[in-house]
Amino acid sequence: MDDLNAVEILIVEDNPRDAELTMRALRKNNLANNVIIAEDGAEALDFFFCRGKYKKRSIANPPKVVLLDLKLPKVSGLEVLKIVKEDKRTSHIPIVIVTSSRQEPDINEAYALGVNSYVVKPVDFDQFINAMSSLGLYWLLVNEPLK
Amino acid sequence: MNEVLTVLCLEDSPRDAEILREFLIDAGYDLNMDCTAAEKEFVSFLSNRRYDIILSDFKLPGFDGFGALRWSVEICPDVPFICVSGSIGESLAVELLKKGAVDYVLKDRLERLPSAIQRALDEAKEKKARQQAERQLRIYSETQSKLLHTNDLTEIYRLVAEKISELIGDGIVFTTLLDESSQTLGIVSYKGLNVPFEKLIKTLRIDPTKMVYNLKDITEDELSIYRSGKLEELEGGLYILATRRIPKTLCKIAEKLLQIEHIFTMGFVWQGVHFGGLVILARSDLSIYKVTIELLINQAVTSINRLRAEMKLNTQYALLNALIDSPGDTIIFSLDRNYCYTAFNEKHREEMKKVWNVNIEMGMNLLNCMSSYELRESAKKSIDRALRGESFSEIQCQQELSVFYELSWGPIFQNENITGATVFIRDISERILAEKILNDSELRFRRLFEAARDGILILEAETGLVVNVNQFLVEMLGYSYDQFLGKRIWELGFFKDIVGNHENFEELLQKEYITYDDKPLETIDGSRIEVEFVSYVYKVGNKNVVQCNIRDITQRKLGEIALQNSEEKFSVAFKTSPYAITITQPEDGKFLEVNDAFYSMTGFTREETLNNASVGMNLWVNREDRDFVVRELMAGRKVVGQEFKFKKRNGEIIIGLFSAHLIVIYKNTYILSSINDITERKQAEKVLEESERKLREAQEMAHLGFWNWDIQSGDVIWSEEVFRIFCLDQNEFIPHIDSILALSPWPEDHERDKELINRTIETHNPGSYEQKFLRPDGSIGHYYSTFHGNYDDNGNLTSIVGTVLDITQRKQAEEAIQILNKELEQRVIDRTTQLEAANKELEAFSYSVSHDLRAPLRSIHSYTNILLEEYENKLDDEGKRLCGIISSDAIRMGGLIDDLLNFSRIGRSSLNVSLLDMKSMAVLSFAEIASENEKARTILEIGKLHNVNGDAHLIRLVWNNLISNAIKYSSKKEKSELSIGSQASGNMITYYIKDNGVGFDMLYKHKLFGVFQRLHSGKDFEGNGVGLAIVQRIIQRHGGKVWAEGEVDKGATFYFSLPAEGNR
């Protein structure tokens, strides 16, 4: 991904295997061209607010969707969600929590913080591929973003 | 890396072994390596030394890597096993890993070895630490609950010591308890002692079963014997851990005994310890157990404090019981509000056995012990009165036994509430009897008085007022009663010749005995009557009275002869007198005449008496008495109202009130004497005195004092016990109604108590109050006072009487309990905080599990599927099958993790209890769970289902699990038949679900409800064995039970019960 301003999907995922599988699902649907992967919460925040290695990015060109894991190094997914949703510049960006956790407190808190969707990663491969594909298709092709 | 690494290397090629050694040293390990190629030596190394890691070649002479692995797993399962070999092929390598090897390193790729070793060491360390922590937690929680329920001090010491020994595990453990106050060494347990310790035990002549030794008893000699023993046999690292409360001297003794340089005190202060000290001797480092040991000891201290408090309370109870049992003849017992015994004395127990043939016990209902309806009702009435706060006495009598009881009832107050009633029952038959006898004799006198053929006049000696006059005199003189009564004798005109004025009366009093027969009286119609006037003075109570006997002697005066006829000598009164009257000769006491009363009194017949002599009949017990009487009479003195002893015909001794004077008949002098038998009265008096003395003693023993406040005079009388309770000197302190109140140093209390007393005066109800008082020495005591008023016939209050009971000890016991309760509450709060913390940790743990365990599973499943998709043409059928297994097992494990998390969550979440409609829950559950196909092939029968209180979410899980099980296990039948119902019995409701499925063998019923326990293979029926465990956990959390019955191929029935009255 060279053009940071063309990013359509931001995947925040510390597990390279899960990242690869997600990419694979997106690729199958030809959605993998403008995808960028952040490996921890801090990097994700840098991306959102155009800091550090994303200095050159413009905040005026938001991604169409962010797939955010909960359990992340440095800054946790819920913390990222909270900061992004509290900032007027970024609060409109659709964020989907994609996590292994089916813990009720997590789901409750995520919705309280204003998450757009909450998806539990299935263990089953086919289900996983299906889930990721539909997510990509929906947010990139079906959903009408803020102009 | 400069750690020492102890390695056991199994390698047949010395060259390879050398390469391995060089390689590891190069990698920075400080190496300590044993090397062998022989199986036997390998085993012996394993058994005798602890290694950090085992490195094993695969191909070995005589055996192989699998054999080595088996030995290492068997002997030291915690030591990581790494296979280092040439290529052996993947399948063998996987097999090794499956059997417990932690890693597999190729000899030509040794550069991977250091990281493999480090990883293995880290894992082993982590595993060990986890096991250690789990074990500590288990031991602590086991001990905690045991300690909570132990009622034996030595058992607490033993338990703590035993558990600490268990905690520390292998190694020498020698636990003793040192009681600092008595310097007593209690050997509580020891295990794994080596030789020197055995010697110590022997030298000190310690019998581990005997428990307690006094260190002071160990002599210098014995110490020196021990010192000469070879203590250096102890391998280093011997520690004594002791609380810092162990006195220095004890530490010194221990140091001397064991020749140990250092005693490390653990350095924490036990809260409120009276525990003495705890000494643990152990060969290994105890620091990792420090927290658990501290917890254990804290728990023990709590239990010991609790026990000590209970023991103190028991002592108080024993004291109280002793007090209750002491007053001998008095029956005392107390009841609670349900008429059940809370205390009773021995006397009462005997009485209940005698009267009702019941062996009473604490807590028994008094009313149930009484088989008579009437008596039960009357007792119930009295108890209810006392429970309403009344203190009162009543007298009950059992006529046929002529037994009288006085029952004093009173309420028991605790914190201003009436919690029960006390009863004091005294046998007052003797007192009643004495009163009755007195009444009888008064009656007799009254009869004599009224029936006498003499006129009798009773005067008050002090004033001369006529207080009584008999019918005969009234008729004789013709005046009315009113003309006599209330007048002074000299004011009665017709006595002017005899007692004409006050001076005459004084003379009469002085002479005490006067007789006239020459002073006639004038009747109302003016006629004169010749009379014989006799007056004498005697005491009634503490007052003198004058009795005047007036006999009409007109007849006698008119006809001397007629009067002198022998048979006429005696008046009717003589014959009918209840007093024995005799006329005897002064010389020998020969009887001239006696009256009937004499016969009945003495038992002699007329024949035996007349012509016989009192001396000869031995009538007088003491001859000197008679001599004295004769001497007195002859000297012209009178004998009046003297007490003498007389002997009856049958030898019985009686006490007689004896009066005599001389009379002249036919010019001969005789003694006229009368004897009034007062034996019974004397006995009654004695008995009365005795019973009063007993009562007084009982009060003293029961620490019960009495006070009496005379309202009119204002006088207050205290019994000795009151003075004793208040520690005041009877001779110095003059009680006043205010002074009893003034003993309390708190003025606001005075007002309250005065108010209470005033209310008693106004309302006529008995009252009571509890009060603090200040003893002269400044200490504070407590007393309990009950009181009630006495009233005259017009209902005016004449006096208030009350009791004072010293309740200082009871109060102190109550305070002790309150303090104890507060401490306990604090402990509960602390414990709850700890539990909450533990729960939080578990929460975090399951959070990680759900995240981190699922991610690799997803990888396994996904990549296997990618393999299948993208390399399909490169895999043969077997390869595809294997990939399929990997993939399906990963899914299954995902399910297992979810179930396990659910299971652990059920144990922790709190219950939201509401009333549940079980019928609709069962119906909904079936509708939700069964597929259309299954619904079609199922015959469902739902009977009555009781509603019950429970957590809706959890109980739904129970239905879901049980119904889905029933459907699943009956799916192989042509039709599934399910029957659901419930039954209430006692306070539980039992629900059942019956199916016609494959059933199970009752032999394995204990496995049904275990986590991951299955009775059927996954091939036949899917499932992972968590469902029933969840059911059991939910039902147990609701306070119910779950069980099952079944038979192979004949269906199964699952039952669960829930409390009908709801639950926590």
CA distance B944 to B683: 80
Cβ contact B1058:B1034 at 8 Å: no
The stretch B456-480 carries a mean pLDDT of: 81
Write down the H helix ranges in B707-853: 720-725, 737-742, 747-763, 808-848
Distance CA B928, CA B1022 (A): 19
CA proximity to B612, closest of B586, B581, B588: B588
**Per-residue pLDDT for B783 more than 90?**
no
CA distance A117 to A99: 11
How large is the average pLDDT for residues B419-444? 73
Torsional sign, CA B36, B37, B42, B44: negative
Q: Which of B919, B925, B927 is nearest to B944 (CA)?
A: B919
Residues B233 and B196 sit within 8 Å (Cβ to Cβ): yes
Q: Token pair for residue B448? A: 């004599």
Q: DSSP state, B64? A: B
Q: The tokens 């010591």 sit on which residue?
A: B161
Q: Please identify, among B785, B806, B827, the residue that sits at the C-terminal boundary of a domain.
A: B806
Q: What is the pLDDT of residue B670?
A: 82
**8 Å CB contact of B865 and A123:** no
Per-residue pLDDT at B230 = 32
**Tokens (6 digits) for B989:** 């409701």
**HSE of B934 in the Cβ direction (CA atoms, 13 Å)?**
17
C-beta atoms surrounding B62 within 10 Å: 10
Can you tell me the distance from the alpha carbon of B256 to that of B220, in angstroms, rounded to the nearest whole number? 10
Confidence at residue B328, expressed as pLDDT on a 0 to 100 scale: 59
What does the pLDDT look like over B706-715, one tens digit per residue?
A: 888 887 777 8
The stretch B684-712 carries a mean pLDDT of 76
Q: Do A123 and B891 touch (CB under 8 A)?
A: yes
* Cα–Cα distance for residue pair B775/B782, rounded to 1 Å: 10
- Domain CATH for B103: 3.40.50.2300
Distances (CA, A) of B925 to B838, B982, B1027: 35, 16, 15
For residue B593, what are its two tokens? Answer: 């005449």
Q: Is B11:B83 a contact under the CB 8 Å cutoff?
A: no
User: How many residue contacts between A and B have a Cβ separation below 8 Å?
Assistant: 57
Give B893's contacts in chain A (Cβ within 8 Å).
Answer: 123
How close is the nearest chain B Cα to the Cα of A15, in Å? 8
Mark whether B106 and B200 lie in a shared domain.
Answer: no
Residue B903 lies in a domain: no
Kindly report the backbone phi and psi dihedral angles of residue B885, in degrees, each rounded to the nearest multiple of 5, phi listed first: -65, -45
Give the pLDDT band of residue B569 (cuts 50, 70, 90): very low
User: Tell me, what's the pLDDT at B5?
Assistant: 85
Predicted confidence (pLDDT) at residue B67 exceeds the cutoff of 70: yes
Q: Which two tokens stand for residue B895?
A: 């399910």
Residues from chain B that touch A70, judged by Cβ atoms under 8 A, are: 851
Chain B residues touching A99 at Cβ < 8 A: 851
Residue A60: per-residue pLDDT: 84
Question: Given B855, B866, B890, which is nearest A100 (Cβ)?
Answer: B855
* Residue in B365, B372, B538 with CA at minimum distance from that of residue B461: B538
Test A18 with B851 for CB contact under 8 angstroms: no
Highest-scoring range by mean pLDDT, B22-26, B228-232, B402-406: B22-26
Residue to substitute from B840, B846, B850, B897, interface A, most A β-carbons within 10 A: B850
Q: Which residues of chain A make contact with B906, given a CB cutoff of 8 A?
A: none
B765-789 b/e with 16+ CB inside 10 Å = b?
ebbbbbbebbeeeeeebbbbbbbbb
Q: Half-sphere exposure of B1010 toward its Cβ, with a 13 Å CA cutoff?
A: 8
For CA atoms B839, B842, B848, B853, the dihedral sign is: negative
- Rounded Cα distance between B659 and B664, Å, is 17
Are B124 and B159 part of one and the same domain? no
Confidence (pLDDT) at B823? 87
Q: Answer yes or no: do B855 and A122 touch at CB < 8 A.
A: no
Average pLDDT over residues B729-758: 73
| Percent of chain B whose predicted confidence (pLDDT) is above 90 | 2
Mean pLDDT value across chain A = 86
Q: Which of B859, B865, B887 sits opposite A17 (nearest CB)?
A: B859
Beta bridge partners of B522: B528
The one-letter code for the residue type at B258 is L
pLDDT in tens, B855-881: 888 888 888 888 888 888 888 888 888
State the nearest Cα–Cα gap between A124 and chain B, in angstroms. 6
For residue B115 the two structure tokens come to 């990281």
Cα B101 to Cα B248: distance, rounded to the nearest angstrom:
53
Nearest residue to B533 (alpha-carbon basis) of B518, B508, B550, B520: B550
Q: In chain B, what residues touch A73 (CB-CB under 8 Å)? A: none
Our CA-based measurement puts residue B958 at a distance from the nearest CA of chain A, in whole angstroms, of 20
Same domain, B300 and B173: yes
Within a domain: residue B975? yes
Query: How far is A111 from chain B, CA to nearest CA, in Å?
Result: 18
User: How many C-beta atoms surround the C-beta of residue B1017 within 10 A?
Assistant: 8
3-state secondary structure of B305: helix
Q: What is the mean pLDDT of residues B481-492?
A: 79
Instruction: Give residue-wise pLDDT tens across range B952-965.
Output: 888 988 998 899 88
Residue of A nearest to B850 (CA): A101
Name the least confident of B270-284, B462-476, B671-685, B881-895: B270-284
Split into its structural domains, chain B has a count of: 7
- A101, B847: Cβ pair inside 8 Å? yes
Q: Alpha-carbon distance A45 to B725, whole Å?
A: 83
User: Which pair of structure tokens corresponds to residue B589?
Assistant: 């006491």
Residue B1019 reports pLDDT greater than 80: no
Q: Which of B862, B868, B892 to mutate: most A Cβ within 10 Å? A: B862
pLDDT at residue A12 in the model:
93
Residue-range definition of the domain harbouring residue B495: 445-556
Q: Residue A89 has which token pair?
A: 């510049």
The pLDDT of residue B322 is above 70 = no
Which residue on chain B is closest to A122 by alpha carbon?
B858
| pLDDT (0 to 100) of residue B761 | 73
Q: Who's near B1026: CB < 8 A, 6+ residues apart?
A: B896, B899, B900, B902, B903, B1011, B1012
Distance CA B581, CA B598 (A): 6
Residue B185's pLDDT band (cuts 50, 70, 90):
very low
Per-state percent for chain A, helix, strand, coil, to nearest 5? 45, 15, 40
Q: Chain A closest CA to B201's CA: distance in Å?
A: 58
Among candidates B850, B866, B893 on the partner chain, residue whose Cβ is nearest the Cβ of A101: B850
Interface ipTM: 0.71
User: What is the maximal distance between C-alpha atoms in chain B?
Assistant: 172
Continuous H helices in A29-119: 41-48, 77-86, 104-112
Q: Is the pLDDT assigned to residue B917 strictly greater than 50? A: yes
Q: What is the mean pLDDT of residues A98-103?
A: 78
Do the domain assignments include residue B209?
A: yes
Nearest Cα residue in chain B from A103: B847
Q: If residue A19 lies in a helix (H) or strand (E), which one and from where to where?
A: helix A16-28
Chain B neighbors of A24, CB-CB under 8 A: 866
CATH code (residue B731): 3.30.450.20
Mean pLDDT lowest among A124-133, B519-528, B869-878: B519-528
What chain B residue is nearest to A72 in terms of C-alpha separation?
A: B851
Q: In chain B, count H helices and then E strands.
A: 34, 40
CA distance B847 to chain A (A): 7
Q: Answer yes or no: are the C-beta atoms of B465 and B486 closer than 8 Å.
A: yes
Q: B892 CA to chain A: closest CA distance, Å?
A: 9
Is B815 exposed, middle or buried, given 0-12, 13-18 or 19+ CB atoms closer than 10 A? exposed
pLDDT, one tens digit per residue, over B647-668 is: 888 888 888 888 888 877 766 7
Query: Hey, what are B155's tokens?
Result: 């058992």
pLDDT digits (tens, 9 = 90+) for A85-94: 999 889 999 9
Closest chain B residue to the Cα of A106, Cα to Cα? B847
Question: Which of helix, strand or coil describes residue B188?
Answer: strand
Interchain proximity A101–B863, CB inside 8 Å: no
What the block records as the tokens of B386 is: 């006392």
Give mean pLDDT, residues B781-807. Answer: 81
> Could you tell me the two tokens for B553?
């002697």
Per-residue pLDDT tens digits for A2-13:
677 778 899 999
Q: B851 CA to chain A: closest CA distance, Å?
A: 5
d(CA B923, CA B941): 10
First-residue to last-residue Cα distance in chain B: 57
The residue whose two tokens read 């001090």 is B153
- Distance between B859 CA and the closest CA of chain A, angstroms: 6
Confidence of residue B182 (pLDDT cuts 50, 70, 90): very low
Residue-level pLDDT at A2: 60
Question: Is the pLDDT score of B245 beyond 50?
Answer: no
Average pLDDT over residues B200-210: 47
Most confident of B50-54, B138-142, B485-489: B50-54
Return the biggest CA–CA distance within chain A: 39
Cβ of B863 within 8 Å of Cβ of A17? The answer is: yes
| B418 class by beta-carbon count within 10 Å (0-12 exposed, 13-18 middle, 19+ buried) | middle
Per-residue pLDDT, averaged over B180-196, amounts to 40
Range scoring the smallest mean pLDDT among B203-217, B285-299, B540-554, B844-858: B203-217
Q: Of B405, B424, B412, B415, whose CA–CA distance to B386 is shortest?
A: B412
Chain B positions with Cβ closer than 8 Å to A? 846-847, 850-852, 854-859, 861-866, 887, 890-891, 893-894, 898
Residue B660 forms beta bridges with which residues?
Answer: B639, B673
Q: Which residue of B has its CA nearest to A125?
A: B862
Which among B852, B858, B863 has CB closest to A123? Answer: B858
State the pairing for strand pair B103-106/B81-85.
parallel
Closest-approach residue (CA) in chain A for B866: A125
Residue B437 falls inside a structural domain: no
Joined together, the tokens standing for residue B60 give 């070995």
Is residue B324 situated within a structural domain? no
- Which residues of A have a CB under 8 Å from any CB of B? 15, 17-18, 21, 24, 70-71, 99-103, 121-126, 128-129
What tens digit of pLDDT does each residue of B256-292 get? 444 433 333 332 222 222 233 444 444 445 556 666 7
Dihedral in degrees, nearest 10, Cα atoms A36, A41, A46, A52: -100
Query: Looking at residues B296-325, what average pLDDT do you find?
Result: 65
Q: Which carries the bigger pLDDT value, residue B131 or residue B295?
A: B131
d(CA B767, CA B944): 59
Are B43 and B174 found together in one domain?
Answer: no
Q: How far is B857 from chain A (nearest CA, A)?
A: 6
Q: Which of the listed CATH numbers 3.40.50.2300, 3.30.420.140, 3.40.50.2000, 3.10.110.10 matches domain A4-142?
A: 3.40.50.2300
pLDDT band at B634 (very low <50, low <70, confident <90, very high): confident
Residue owning tokens 């007088």: B620
